[in-house]
Structure 1
Amino acid sequence: MIDLCKQHTMYTWAKGDAVDPIPVERAEGVYMYTPDGQRILDFNSQLMCVNIGHGHPKVIEAIKKQLEQLVYVYPGTATAVRARTAKLLSEIVPGDINTFFFTSGGAEANENAIKIARQYTGRHKILSRYRSYHGATEACMQLTGDPRRWANEPGGPGYIKVMDPRPYTYSFGETDEEKTAENLKYLEEVIMYEGPHTIAAMFVETVTGTNGVQPPPAGYLKGLKALLEKYGILLVCDEVMAGFGRTGKMFAFEHYDFVPDILTMAKGLNSSYIPLGAVGMSDKLAAHFQENVFWGGLTYNSHCVGLAAAEATIHVMRDEGLVENAAKLQHVMRSEMDRLQAKHPSFKEGRALGLFGMVDLQKNSKGEPMAPYNGAHPAMNELGKFFRDNGLFTFVRWGSFMCNPPLCITEEQLKEGFEIIDRGLEITDRAFEG
């Protein structure tokens, strides 16, 4: 199985010769199983996407039922599942976001959000942040700030990067209030330099995902929305990772007392059982496209089977209290991180909002990262192997690793994951320089 996959398929973000894929035969709940019977705790919900857990029977049944009724029709039709799912989304997304354009995934959602913003405003420039990831398509690579964009440059014109309120090494201040005030002051100067009349939108991950699981400082997003409104610039919140219960709210922006103009989503929308994404837009944008053509289209727009999975997934999340479970278990993840930080000198910092978590490791008491920006360290490679050999699946990246289990995880299972992490950190402790 592994040999044929490597021989005949291409893997993402990797050299083919270096790929060492995990063989997976089946998955259920919070666990994956290899053909030889090894049980692996999924501590990252795959790509932060299987929010309801693997193999939920109600979603599988909904998919089967839809397959028997209607699989695919072209996007210009009306279907019952399209009507129901769009109405359901309008009910659960706060504020005046009531209209949705369905895509095949998160990158396509962001691509179409770019089109919507540009066509609505008549402007072409797009702001985004350096500590960001927005997808691997051509335009989304230009939105993205992290190093994966480098090999995809140069891209199209008009993409402007700005610093985050919490940059990688620099600080805008010590307190949240200082970080917010100084970053917004800096951003307004960038807007002045670029010309506000040329800027259509700014894209942000409501909570930065793979580049740190960084919640914004207090007041930042509400202040950002007000600043952008001052210049007629739309705010797009990318919640492909942070949405659908991950942070202990159905949508991450609910933590911060504002509503974006555009909301992009995927992953947790149907827990990735079937490819699906969506762009949600405010009523003022939707009204514009009632009277003006939207110049965009996708063969798989509003695919019946993907929508059936989304509808069932949302009902599972609500009926089984998975958003509430994520909020409840935040304190367990936080306490486990605090316990490990007190025990292991290589543990620098842990962050958790709901079940959205990341741990940063350090190589010395100065707090220098165990691995440099976009770099590696032998101890991190060894730690990743330890996790895999001991039945824990997560992502080890640079000097950090992720803690993003399915929202159906129990307190006992969560502590099972941290027990493996506890033993693994002995590896990075040995690399700690004092």
Structure 2
Amino acid sequence: MPPTTQQPSTGPVPAPDPAVGAAVHSTDRQHVFHSWSAQGKIDPLAVAGAEGSYFWDYDGKRYLDFTSGLVFTNIGYQHPKVVAAIQEQAAKLTTFAPAFAIEARSEAARLIAERTPGDLDKIFFTNAGADAVEHAVRMARLHTGRPKVLAAYRSYHGGTHQAINLTGDPRRWASDTGTAGVVHFNAPHLYRSPFYAETEEQECERALAHLEQTIAYEGPQTIAAVILETIPGTAGIMMPPPGYLQGVREICDRHGIVYILDEVMAGFGRTGTWFAADLYDVVPDLLTFAKGVNSGYVPLGGVAISAKIAETFDQRPYPGGLTYSGHPLACGAAVATLQVMAEEGIVEHAARLGESVIGPALREIAERHPSVGEVRGTGVFWALDLVRDRTTREPLVPYNATGQDNAPMAEFAAACKSGGLWPFVNMNRTHVVPPCNVTEAEVKEGLAVLDDALSAADAHTVPGGATA
């Protein structure tokens, strides 16, 4: 049954106030230092408000958000039940040190543990996904006594020192000292196979052989952990072939290596299941989470820990912690979010949207547009791989393109925004990642804009290129 309490803002947005918007923008440019940006080249939109799947600016222009913020507003903006829970928690106990047992913290941990796969029943709270990854790696190294961690290319694990070194995309380059004990390997991606595979079976088999060989060359006795995004998010929403994640589980077990799954983006309903691991019937030793755990309303992340790893620290102190670990406001928001998701059937709704609405619609769109090379995804977690030529699969823009080289994607994004859709674009891809409780009507509204905007991408394709 689709969600009923968090419907779109169908009425008029608050009266436009361009003067206030200009002041907000001016102050931002004077004092705010933005992440991942050349400060003199950005022009951030001044946002006046948001509700459900929409936000709007001070000029009164309204956008349907197909990014869910940074893929974290899984229950949309300003859900009234979660806002009320935050207010209630603030009135009751705004903050308290992490060494104490606090009701909101205990209940959030219990509700998360109920939903994690297998025996991942102990929860270590962090402030976000990056420090969740930092602590998962630390736990693995302490548990095994080994130094190295294997991570995939085409991945993103966070912006802190260890997490950015684990990351496989170009955001790592500026901070990669080569001394973080990280070894990268190729994970499967059939559409752009590094293994010259022609089928999912070949891709899985060859990717596992490559990982096995990498472990052999590095020395299994030196490797503490293998970390993977269950379904890589920002790097391209690349669905692992059947058997791959289970194969990694077997390799890790055979060599005594800790298996870490990063579910920071894929977790909490995004894939139409509570966790993407549920789609593949695999249980890691450690699972990192953040974002959707409370829809980003108050910063929160964490590590779900297996009994085997937790036992390591039963009598031995874990040398790590955070001042705000399990912050009451964040945990109160998580409790309310998980309750809302269960009450409103949001996970099931996301699964139905992916299977019956988004997936079929994107495949139809691909048939009309020569710039769409591949459609992939599940739930409300989809990507369109945009190309110049379907035959050669040449990306629409070069890898990590900037400036004029990125013009085709910039034109596509501008066309989306002109039509009232805020798109998620990264390199040569656009991702379709609206809130998990987006309505079917909103999805169709957004996909109609995306369909029109792809004409801007089509203009950069090779004339006479192959069609779907």
TM-score, normalization: structure 2? Answer: 0.91
Mapped pair 1:417 → 2:441: no
Aligned AA (2:360):
S
SS at match of 2:389: coil
After superposition, give the CA deviation of every residue in 1:86-129 in whole Å (9 maximum; x if it has no partner): 11112111210000100000001001001111111111100000
Tell me which of 281, 284, 288 is aligned to 2:305: 281
Written as runs of structure 1 = structure 2, the 5 A alignment for 1:2-401 is: 2-166=25-189, 168=192, 170-331=194-355, 332-366=357-391, 367-375=393-401, 376-401=405-430
Q: Which moved more, 1:3-12 or 1:170-179?
A: 170-179
* Structure 1 residue 377 displacement after superposition: 3.0
Aligned AA (2:410):
N
After superposition, give the CA deviation of every residue in 1:322-358 in whole Å (9 maximum; x if it has no partner): 1001100113111111111111111211112111011
Q: Which moved more, 1:38-47 or 1:80-89?
A: 80-89
CA distance in 1 between partners of 2:303 and 2:72 (Å): 17
**Equivalent pairs, count:** 434
CA distance in 1 between partners of 2:337 and 2:390 (Å): 45
CA distance in 2 between partners of 1:171 and 1:20 (Å): 41
Structure 2 contact 117–277 (Cα < 8 Å) conserved: no
Structure 2 contact 195–206 (Cα < 8 Å) conserved: no
Structure 1 contact 361–400 (Cα < 8 Å) conserved: yes
CA RMSD of the aligned region, Å? Answer: 1.2
Structure 1 contact 270–310 (Cα < 8 Å) conserved: yes
Q: Which residue number corresponds to residue 14 of structure 2?
A: none
CA distance in 1 between partners of 2:306 and 2:75 (Å): 27
1:422 to 1:136, Cα distance in 2 relative to 1, 3 A: same
1:402 to 1:365, Cα distance in 2 relative to 1, 3 A: closer
CA distance in 1 between partners of 2:339 and 2:166 (Å): 32
Structure 1 contact 360–401 (Cα < 8 Å) conserved: yes
SS at match of 1:363: strand
* Structure 1 residue 402 displacement after superposition: 1.1
CA distance in 1 between partners of 2:396 and 2:107 (Å): 49
Structure 2 contact 165–180 (Cα < 8 Å) conserved: no
Structure 1 contact 333–352 (Cα < 8 Å) conserved: no
Structure 1 contact 82–302 (Cα < 8 Å) conserved: yes
CA distance in 2 between partners of 1:347 and 1:182 (Å): 27
Structure 1 contact 26–34 (Cα < 8 Å) conserved: yes
CA distance in 2 between partners of 1:365 and 1:96 (Å): 44
Q: Which moved more, 1:175-184 or 1:320-329?
A: 175-184
CA distance in 1 between partners of 2:179 and 2:344 (Å): 44
SS at match of 2:143: helix
SS at match of 1:22: coil
CA distance in 1 between partners of 2:309 and 2:193 (Å): 37
Q: Detail structure 1 runs of 4+ shifted over 3 Å in the superposition.
A: none
Aligned AA (1:373):
Y
CA distance in 1 between partners of 2:363 and 2:309 (Å): 44
After superposition, give the CA deviation of every residue in 1:241-298 in whole Å (9 maximum; x if it has no partner): 0000000000000011110000000000100000000100101111221111101011
Structure 2 contact 186–194 (Cα < 8 Å) conserved: no
CA distance in 2 between partners of 1:203 and 1:213 (Å): 16
Structure 1 contact 206–252 (Cα < 8 Å) conserved: yes
CA distance in 2 between partners of 1:394 and 1:419 (Å): 13
Aligned AA (1:393):
W
* Structure 1 residue 379 displacement after superposition: 1.8
* Structure 1 residue 42 displacement after superposition: 0.6
Aligned AA (1:84):
E
SS at match of 2:388: coil
CA distance in 2 between partners of 1:157 and 1:15 (Å): 26
Q: Gapped runs of 5+ residues in structure 1?
A: none
Tell me which of 422, 427, 430 is aligned to 2:456: 427
TM-score, normalization: structure 1? Answer: 0.98
Q: Gapped runs of 5+ residues in structure 2?
A: 1-23, 464-468
Structure 1 contact 30–406 (Cα < 8 Å) conserved: yes
* Structure 1 residue 6 displacement after superposition: 1.4
Q: Which moved more, 1:337-346 or 1:207-216?
A: 337-346
